[in-house]
Amino acid sequence: MQKLYIDGKWTDASSGETFDSLNPADGTTIDTVHAGDAEDVDRAVAAARGAYYDWTTSNVTERAELLRRYLYRLREEKKDLAELVTREVGKTLSESEAEIEDALNLTDYLVGEGKRYFGYVAPSAQKNRIAYTQRCAYGVAALLTPWNFPVSIIVWKAAPALLCGNTIVMKPSSNSPLTAGALVSMGEDIFPPGVINLVTGSGRTIGDRIIAHESVDVISFTGSTGIGKKIRSATALKEVGLELGGKNPALIMPSADIEKAVKDTIIGAFGVAGQRCTSTSRVIVHEEIFEEFKSLLCEDAAALKLGNGMDPETGMGPLISEEQVKIVDGYVKEAIEDGARLLCGGEAPDGMGGYYYAPTILDHIRTDMRIAQEEVFGPVLCLFSCSSFEEGIGIANDVPYGLTAAVYTADLAEAFRGTNELASGIVVVNNPPGSVEAHLPFGGVKESGIGRQGGIEGINEFSRTKTVYIDY
């Protein structure tokens, strides 16, 4: 049974309540987890506050060295951790391994940034004065993380927060508490007590308390746009970073390599069973190649093998829960009733024992349909036709989100116009939306969030600028 981790100790939840972490591939219980409450949040925040002074006044290169030790530990445990991720959230083993590799790359990058934690010197208008800036931690950082990338998103938040000198209180999704616990346990003998704290349980119970807590200084949240808006409105003057939803388009032009675009779309739409904020959810194909692209796409989607992520033959794993299957199916059925045409999928296969939904493709979509505007978070792809590049850009941008986007073309002008005109935080040419590299920022515009993770911008999320004047 997994407990809470507060002030360097694994401890029971104050209420004594627990919940089960389930394997979405078969619905079985993996382990039981303690469910924290507001009292536990207060204990965790107090521990983080108590550890803050010694941690933030340590040398940044020393903190980077501890991250290096953690990096080595994470590499040693990669195989077992990947298997745990697959059992807890359902993604294929290769997807879990790739996610951990992203976390390793980010940690490796931040170890080097410990020696480049720069401010800058500026000339002063006053005689005999030195003026410069330096980066400083905020204080206690609250990290609220989702289940779909239970390793990489925690590391992408925790590593820069710690490097900058913050102490942290983590609240992972109730669908992936064991992975969070494994990540914390790897650092038990590396980081001082109180620097890292973990409280598992209901978002309504502990998430709300963390957000409102007067001793929490910075909040970083990844999840739905609806919850992100509530956090933003409830946090007053706290520093907040929000990585939210997406409705990510791929624009396919006649000069594109069609076979590659099809393969990439399959990966983008159905990787992690479509349960990514960066999933390709809308494909806009020029009418000259629309029928060919559609035929190849449906053929490849129908060939994907559903199954347990531990099976190397599995092409797509389960959804996270029975509830999510119902949500996805509801979107599909409503779209069909509203005039969409089902090209493949559109059902939860019988007899598989878990939470599966077939790869689904729809066309005859109008941009005002709910399925064309809202994040489904499942293996559902909307297919559009356009008669020109300009029309395609218009369809791509006609959503409230702006996280990632792609354009497939061999025309240099179209490629650069796409990077300029697609309204998103990330634009990819001739690859699926959602590329992530540790040294570059990740984040969106519009209702896809505020702030950035990764790169220097990810460090800035967890540090503030202090201006210093010295007269002599």
Q: In what order do the strands lie in the sheet with 121-122?
A: 121-122, 129-137, 463-471
Distance CA 148, CA 152 (A): 9
Beta bridge partners of 137: 463
Distance CA 242, CA 229 (A): 9
Which residues are marked as active site?
A: 243, 277
| Ramachandran quadrant class, 194 (left: phi over 0; alpha: psi -120 to 50; beta: rest) | left
Distance CA 222, CA 232 (A): 12
